[in-house]
Amino acid sequence: MTTELFDVSLNRYAEQMSSDQLPVLAALERETHMRHTQSVMISGNLQGQLLQLISHLCRPRRVLEIGTYTGYSALCLAQGLTEDGVLHTVEMDDEKCEIVEKYIAEAGMEGKIVTHFGDARQIVRELDESWDIVFIDADKPSYGLYFDLVIEKMKSGGVIIADNVLFEGKVLLPEEKQGKNEKAMHLFNQKLKNDDRVAQVMLPIRDGISVIRKL
């Protein structure tokens, strides 16, 4: 789920003034919109360019993505990997396997991206890695848990990126009017704000993105 909270024309202008999509990403976005009813969940070019920029700046050796969907954000985050770098991506819905693996191959990333299908709460626990970048874009009530699972596996300067932190703007609703997802996101945002192990900035891009640095 991703809702653009800000003026459509300004979002369009920001996309036009950002770098062009890689051809493989444009093809993946087209196929996702054609084949999947919840295609609004795909990151898209503006968010994708941000993910690529962070990846190129960090030059990560190990990246974890929690919530693959059709693989767009994984391909973006893999762009800045070191020569020996690997990205692990975890998706609950194994019906996405075909399209994910197809575009990993088309991007020539078979040796750089490792896919896992199943319950991220279990899979993340089993991955024995030290993460440079973690991207969280999965079930909203588990964001706090995912953060807790990865934060101690990151060295100082590691980056966590969390999507949908504004959740359609509903994080501003009174607590009694919030559904489980927006309530979970508000609690997650508060959790970050009160955690002295990290510094973070919330960016008003699409549905809200927080970029978090481990101190």
Fold exhibited by the domain 8-214? Rossmann fold (3.40.50)
Q: CA distances (Å), 176 to each of 47, 143, 171, 172, in order?
A: 31, 21, 11, 11
pLDDT tens, residue by residue, 133-148:
999 999 999 999 999 9
Alpha helix (H) residue ranges in 8-43 = 8-16, 23-35
Note the pLDDT of residue 105.
98
Q: Which of 64, 62, 78, 63 is nearest to 28 (CA)?
A: 78
pLDDT tens, residue by residue, 74-106:
999 999 999 999 999 999 999 999 999 999 999
Position 123 pLDDT exceeds 90 = yes
Q: Which of 8, 3, 42 is nearest to 25 (CA)?
A: 42
For helices 180-193 and 143-151, the axis angle rounded to 10 degrees is 30
**The pTM is what?**
0.94
- Residue 197's SS3 state is coil
Position 172 pLDDT exceeds 60 = yes
Question: In the chain, what are the domain boundaries?
Answer: 8-214
